[in-house]
Structure 1
Amino acid sequence: MDNNNINGGMQDRTSMHNGAPIQNGAPMPNGTFMINGVQMHNGMPTQNVSPVQIPGGPYNKNNGGMLKGILMGFIAAFLVFGVALGIKAISDVKGNKTVGDGSSTYQSMDEVYDKANRIKKLIDEYYYYDEDLNDIADGIYQGLIDSLGDKYADYYDAEELQSVIESNQGTYYGIGVVVQTDTETGEILVVNPYDFAPGYKAGIRAGDKIIAVDEINVVGMDLNEAVKYIHGDEGTDVTLTVRRDGKEMEFVVTRAKIDNQTITVKVLDNNIGYMRISSFDGVTLDQYKAGLEELISQDIEGIIFDVRSNGGGFYYTVVEMLDKILPEGKIVYTEDKNGNQEIEYSDANCIDLPMCVLVDGYTASASEIFAGAIQDYELGAIIGQKTYGKGIVQNTYDLGDGTAIKFTIAGYFTPNGRNIHGDGITPDIEVELPENLGENMDAYDKETGILKLEYDTQLQRAISYMNEQLGIE
């Protein structure tokens, strides 16, 4: 699911190196400290595992990834899936070898610089239109990152980076939807509509493909540009035309202030606790701790964790959260290209309650770390549908001039050594939601937009599983 995930609001969150941290307000994980205002962990900049890239889609502002299009209607990208133009350009260069013999090889970067200078001189001398050096420079940097062939890699210019930072503050204005570009169709794919946010309340659902914004066709449009059309002032309306199950539908959404509430909790019948985790952001850890305390104070007998449509987030956020519920041992570990491993451990202090985890095809990245660890420790059943399968970690580095780059630095592995990249996590209990659910608006609560229990077959199965564990018939 990680592709062009710009935070218009899913989830790749960005931590910084040699610059201001993007993760704000979260307690420092064990072994984490600050250097010049930069969050560091064991001497390295913090990592994010978020954007997922959904097939045809979640994260990378360039490759059609998941614009963390939390659509604040906004851009802010990063840990759920480059620019379409950049990709096409690369494809054309690789596929059209009519100049020379097409076998150019470079022995040193000096040769690359020399050729770039020759190209620039030709542009200066013969190019018909005015040129903008800033645009040329950003294009070169973006091209360098695109050449890696890493769909989660990205270059953020000053405007984009500022949007990323703002979107990680926990509050912004928009419709509360995380989007990415579907790389196969060019449509804007909704990865995660935030609970209680305007988009979800209006009827926008994960898997919807936005094809027009206020009657402006956005298919094939650069994700950044598309998100700008969705973004707007608080209280104004935006009309989204979406394709769902082959049918076109229109939704009028009123933009609002979005407080990024990533954790919601409630107590179900028979004292079963329920916790919905919509993403693993900078604000999530504190909300998670408060949510656990609230549930435990109500004497719950067990807990259901719901990470459906959660495209990921900060690596160390999910590590800290798992430390509260896992027994002593490995939580997760990463391994870089040289075989160097960094292992995260939990202590012996943990809650001792029956539990289970709800997942679906949009559960990705940090969410899969969460579900995978609980599955490996056999603490409870994983219920729902097979997860997305993003088993790699990205880091974001501040370049010191208001811009930044992000690329993949390692793979991650569950406590038992599983790397689920490309495979996902298979549920212990597989349950599908009813067909054509997205067309039945009566299935959703009119105030919150949340799927009603009578239609949520996955949550129903989770409740029955918990009752079985508690010996309740």
Structure 2
Amino acid sequence: MRASDKVSKRPSWVQVIAICLLVAAVTMLATGYILSARYERADALASGDYKKLDEIKTLLDRYYVGEYEEEDLLDMLALGYMSGINDKWAYYTTAESLQSLYEDKAGSYAGIGVTVTQDADTGLLTVMEVYDESPAAEAGIQRFDKLYSVEDELVSVLGMDATVAKVRGEVGTQVRIGIQRDGEVMEFTVERRVVKKTSVYSELIDGEIGLLRVSEFTAAAAEQFDEKLDNLVDIGAKGFIIDVRNNPGGQLTTLISMLDRLMPPGEVFIERDKAGNENRLSVDEEYYDLPLIVLVNEYSYSAAEYFAAVMQEQGRAFVVGTPTTGKGEGQQTFTLSDGSAVTFSVIKYYTPNGVSIGEMGGITPDMETEISYEKLVQIGSMEYTEDPQIMAAVSHMKESLLK
């Protein structure tokens, strides 16, 4: 078979669990449905290990000289509860923040033009992508800045959903954002606008290599990927370098759709819940039988990691870069009776061979290639010849094309 040939396979439906994303600019590999559940208030605080909370409240009511709001107290208790379950991806969302997230995004609500991911250790949100010509870019916010506060409220206390909800607002209004950079905290005032986002970028490099950078696995990214992949082949690409560095993940449906274009028939993904029930996902569409290299780094999360891991495991792609972090679980959000919500891990993900990226601590590239911090923050904006990891991939691709 020639390298440029498409391999045709019989069409079939890909079975996937529906994905619900709570955050506009922040996406993660999340499975399941946002469920509503009514919970009766129990006497848990007066029995067992929870009795100490009842004792604390009694002492506060008897001796505390200040005042506190019962609603704020309950929110902080819920926040602490989710922080203590040993799930670094778990968090609590207040009713007010959740309502804001569900407001009609097609209306007058807008953002600042960044993609972020949550730092599991600090609770801060790291800026992974600043969109071109966005309010954030114009204000001077940079990739790898950490969102420290929004309108003087700490991000580590707000949590991810509440932070995003506070950043969003009416078109033309302003929001004050505290940014942590190089150990210092600085404040930016940013105007909210509707920002059009592109998730897939492409170019033909070295005359015969198609370079695609996927910044996030959004719903729109699947179609963008298809179009750019086909276009690169049409203009002479004989192999692909796919860059998922600094990619925070995204939708499972998009991940499967992209793998459909790159892999032969077979299983590509396994989901397993607490009861041991499995959902096995497979691909069975047209794909390009061309050499593949995937670029990853420590900021490649979740869907980005499995994109590389599945093809590496099956011998379909060569992986270049630095080891990834290892996010191998999917989260589900449950809406509580008062309108607030809790999110925690309910699904574990595995490769076709049963490997959990979370348990193994991430992906180890076939070729580890370092990059300086100065160049790391320029990924996607500097010339490809200035990127040592892309150049290492180009060198390996040339060897593959000569075989």
Q: Shorter-chain TM-score: which interval?
A: 0.7 to 0.9
- Which residue pairs with 2:283 in the alignment? 346
In the TM superposition, residue 125 of structure 1 has moved relative to its aligned partner by 8.2
- Determine whether 1:433 maps to 2:371: yes
- Determine whether 1:462 maps to 2:381: no
Unpaired runs of at least 5, structure 2: 1-12, 31-41
- Which residue pairs with 1:154 in the alignment? 91
After superposition, the Cα gap between the structure-2 partners of 1:454 and 1:240, relative to the gap in structure 1 and judged at 3 Å, is farther
Count of residues paired in the alignment: 371
- Determine whether 1:261 maps to 2:192: no
TM-score, normalization by structure 1: 0.64
After superposition, the Cα gap between the structure-2 partners of 1:173 and 1:138, relative to the gap in structure 1 and judged at 3 Å, is same
Worse overlay, 232-241 or 390-399: 232-241
Residue pair 1:77, 1:164 contacting (<8 A) in 2 also = no
- Which residue pairs with 2:4 in the alignment? none
In the TM superposition, residue 427 of structure 1 has moved relative to its aligned partner by 0.5
Distance (Å, rounded) in 2 between the aligned partners of 1:77 and 1:156:
16
Q: Deviations over 1:171-203 (max 9, x none)?
A: 94204141535745x7x4524124535446776
Distance (Å, rounded) in 2 between the aligned partners of 1:222 and 1:46:
24
Q: How does 1:42-441 map to 2 (within 5 A)?
A: 46=19, 70=25, 79=29, 110-112=43-45, 132=69, 134-139=71-76, 141-165=78-102, 172-180=110-118, 183-184=121-122, 188-196=124-132, 198=134, 199=136, 204-209=141-146, 222-223=158-159, 234=172, 242-244=180-182, 256-347=193-284, 349-399=286-336, 402-421=339-358, 423-434=361-372, 436-437=374-375
In the TM superposition, residue 307 of structure 1 has moved relative to its aligned partner by 0.4
Give the AA of the match of 1:155: Y
- Which residue pairs with 1:95 in the alignment? none
In the TM superposition, residue 319 of structure 1 has moved relative to its aligned partner by 2.0
Q: How does 1:22-33 map to 2 (within 5 A)?
A: 30-31=14-15
Distance (Å, rounded) in 1 between the aligned partners of 2:199 and 2:100:
19
Distance (Å, rounded) in 2 between the aligned partners of 1:459 and 1:201:
28
SS in 2 for 1:270: coil
TM-score, normalization by structure 2: 0.74
Give the AA of the match of 1:432: E
Q: 2:383 aligns with which of 430, 443, 452?
A: 452
Distance (Å, rounded) in 1 between the aligned partners of 2:302 and 2:253:
12
Q: Deviations over 1:340-359 (max 9, x none)?
A: 22111112632211111010
After superposition, the Cα gap between the structure-2 partners of 1:31 and 1:343, relative to the gap in structure 1 and judged at 3 Å, is closer
Unpaired runs of at least 5, structure 1: 1-28, 33-40, 51-67, 71-75, 81-108
After superposition, the Cα gap between the structure-2 partners of 1:273 and 1:136, relative to the gap in structure 1 and judged at 3 Å, is same
In the TM superposition, residue 239 of structure 1 has moved relative to its aligned partner by 7.9
Q: Deviations over 1:131-164 (max 9, x none)?
A: 6555455445445544433221223233322444
Residue pair 1:47, 1:393 contacting (<8 A) in 2 also = no
